[in-house]
Amino acid sequence: MSRRLRVGLITTAVIGAGAVLFAQGAAFAAPPAAPDHHTPAAAGTLRQLASQVGLRVGTAIDTDQLASNSPYRAIAATQFSSVTPENVMKWEVVEPTQGTYDWGQADRLVAFAQQNGQLVRGHTLVWHNQLPAWLTAAAPSMSADQLRAILKKHVIDEVTHFKGKVWQWDVVNEAFNDDGTLRDTIWLQKLGPDYIADAFRWAHQADPKALLFYNDYNIEYTGPKSNAVYQLVKDLKAKGVPIDGVGFQTHLDTQYPLPDLQNNLQRFADLGLKVAETEVDVRTTLPVTPVEQNAQVAGYTSTLQACLAVRACLSYTVWGFGDAYSWVPGVFPGEGAATIYDENLQPKPEYTALQQTLALAAGAPGRSDPRH
Ligand code: XIL
């Protein structure tokens, strides 16, 4: 059976109604390391190719899928050079009962990363979601000083626990609304906007070597939200607050255009900050049409190209791999197919697009210096 036919059958079995699409799309769907005589430069895993241009290529990890000998584990280990815990470093997981820490799942992920020569993006210290129930229940009746002490302890204890093991921390996540105003969270309500600077100072105190990031979505393009984040991080830098970078989540949808990612990354880099694409996925309405999948391929390609073009872009991280494990269908009704591997963990054209984009960069002269 030829490879093209095999890929077409697998894809048909997975998506069913997408069979017509993949009669056209199959030619792009090569397995990761299979020799491809038409595009020899594309052979190689994502991490091998990315290492040639000094870029870390990462993924969020669903630690429930890491059972030994699982195909998921094998792909996670071989294709990526950085990992982000999708959930297991979040506050509700690490401190389910006040004062009782449970680092087990996160520790196992860190060990996995170390075994595989991967760096860890710590995610995330200060957020309004996935907080422990004991905290959300008690917060409204706490004084500002009480809540600040709890936040400080959380940040310092978690960063201390992982000291020396986390490369980049998402210190503050999603603090802004789309209109550029600060999000109305328990942190803002009780502590005022200074909770952001405080969190960076506490994290730096606990691990002075970790790179500290502000992370958000819908800031990939210029507009009220990214302008507000730009102003925030500029002010933090001016005040000497220890912030090292900005994470652009990059959750794309084929319905919406992405006008100026590269220029936007560059203006943050010009402030003396690192940048990273931290949660890339490209969702679309199901079932996927050829036009939509082409847009998904373009979304992955252009976001990686933008990172490659900005020397301060340290890492390109996808928000999981394998459409069966993606957060998208649970959160965006009727949408999905957002990752670079299909429901059977077969690489999709989106995977090949990343591979070829990295191979092109690796083959270009003058691109081998470390990124900085
Ligand atoms: C999501 C996870 O993928 C889901 O498994 C979980 O149920 C909810 O959180 N922005 C973020 C991530 O910063 O932490 C979110 O992750 C996706 C959006």
What are the tens digits of pLDDT across the range 333-371? Answer: 999 999 999 999 999 999 999 999 999 999 876 655 667
For residues 220-234, give the mean pLDDT: 98
Cα–chain center distance at 48: 19
Q: Which amino acid is at 38?
A: H
Confidence band (pLDDT; 50, 70, 90) for 297? very high
**68: its two tokens:** 């030994």
Domain that holds residue 91: 34-363
Question: Is the C-beta atom of 249 inside 6 A of ligand 1?
Answer: yes
Phi, psi angle pair for 232, to nearest 5°: -60, -55
Does any domain span residue 346?
Answer: yes
**C-alpha angle 212-217-219 in degrees, rounded to nearest 5:** 90
Task: From residue 114, give the alpha-carbon distance in Å to each of 76, 79, 82, 111, 277.
Answer: 13, 15, 10, 5, 22
CB contact at 8 A, 206 and 352:
no
Residue closest to 219 by CA, chosen among 243, 241, 247:
247
What is the pLDDT, as a whole number, of residue 368?
55
Per DSSP bridges, beta strands 82-85 and 245-248 are unpaired
Closest-CA residue, ligand 1 atom 4, reads: 327
Closest-CA residue, ligand 1 atom 15, reads: 86
CB contact at 8 A, 270 and 236:
no
pLDDT averaged over the chain?
89
Task: From residue 185, give the alpha-carbon distance in Å to each of 126, 131, 175, 176, 217.
Answer: 11, 11, 8, 10, 16
Question: Is the C-beta atom of 86 inside 6 A of ligand 1?
Answer: yes
* Number of separate domains in the chain: 1
Question: Is the C-beta atom of 248 inside 6 A of ligand 1?
Answer: no
Ligand 1 site-directed mutation target among 63, 129, 174, most atoms within 8 Å of CB: 129
Ligand 1 site-directed mutation target among 65, 327, 332, 335, most atoms within 8 Å of CB: 327
CA R_g for the chain: 21
C-alpha span between 205 and 207 (Å, rounded): 6
Does any domain span residue 245?
Answer: yes
Ligand 1 site-directed mutation target among 319, 323, 328, most atoms within 8 Å of CB: 319
C-alpha span between 123 and 256 (Å, rounded): 26
Ligand 1 centroid to 224 CA: how many Å? 23
What is the pLDDT, as a whole number, of residue 362?
92
Neighbours of 344 (CB within 10 A): 13
Pick the atom of ligand 1 nearest to 327's CA.
3
Question: Is the C-beta atom of 293 inside 6 A of ligand 1?
Answer: no
Does any domain span residue 13?
Answer: no
- In the block, which residue shows the tokens 């494990």? 325
* pLDDT tens, residue by residue, 21-33: 222 233 333 444 4
Ligand 1 centroid to 86 CA: how many Å? 6
What is the pLDDT, as a whole number, of residue 66?
97
Lowest mean pLDDT among 1-15, 75-89, 139-153, 283-297: 1-15
Does any domain span residue 27?
Answer: no
Question: Is the C-beta atom of 262 inside 6 A of ligand 1?
Answer: no
C-alpha span between 285 and 283 (Å, rounded): 7
| CATH number assigned to the domain comprising residue 112 | 3.20.20.80
Closest-CA residue, ligand 1 atom 13, reads: 173
pTM of the predicted structure, to 2 decimals: 0.89
Catalytic residue set: 174, 279
Beta strands in the chain (DSSP E): 56-61, 82-85, 119-126, 168-173, 211-216, 245-248, 251-253, 274-285, 313-318, 335-336
Question: Is the C-beta atom of 327 inside 6 A of ligand 1?
Answer: yes
* Coil, helix or strand at residue 223: coil
First to last CA, the chain: 46
Ligand 1 site-directed mutation target among 61, 87, 332, most atoms within 8 Å of CB: 87
Which residues, 6 or more positions from 260, have their beta carbon under 8 angstroms from its beta carbon? 221, 222
Which residues, 6 or more positions from 62, have their beta carbon under 8 angstroms from its beta carbon? 72, 86, 87, 320, 325
C-alpha span between 227 and 245 (Å, rounded): 15
Ligand 1 centroid to 367 CA: how many Å? 33
Position with higher pLDDT, 56 vs 41: 56
Ligand 1 centroid to 318 CA: how many Å? 12
Ligand 1 centroid to 248 CA: how many Å? 14
Pick the atom of ligand 1 nearest to 215's CA.
13
Confidence band (pLDDT; 50, 70, 90) for 43? confident
Beta strands in 26-114 (DSSP E): 56-61, 82-85
Ligand 1 centroid to 87 CA: how many Å? 7
Ligand 1 centroid to 129 CA: how many Å? 9
C-alpha span between 154 and 294 (Å, rounded): 43
Closest-CA residue, ligand 1 atom 16, reads: 86
- The sign one gets for the Cα dihedral 211, 249, 68, 346 is negative
Res 9 pLDDT > 80: no
Residue closest to 86 by CA, chosen among 106, 114, 112:
106
Ligand 1 centroid to 175 CA: how many Å? 15
Reading phi first (left if > 0) and then psi (alpha if -120 to 50, else beta), residue 143 is in beta
Question: Is the C-beta atom of 346 inside 6 A of ligand 1?
Answer: no
Res 214 pLDDT > 80: yes
Residue closest to 324 by CA, chosen among 45, 36, 91, 14:
14
For residues 55-67, give the mean pLDDT: 98
Position with higher pLDDT, 138 vs 5: 138
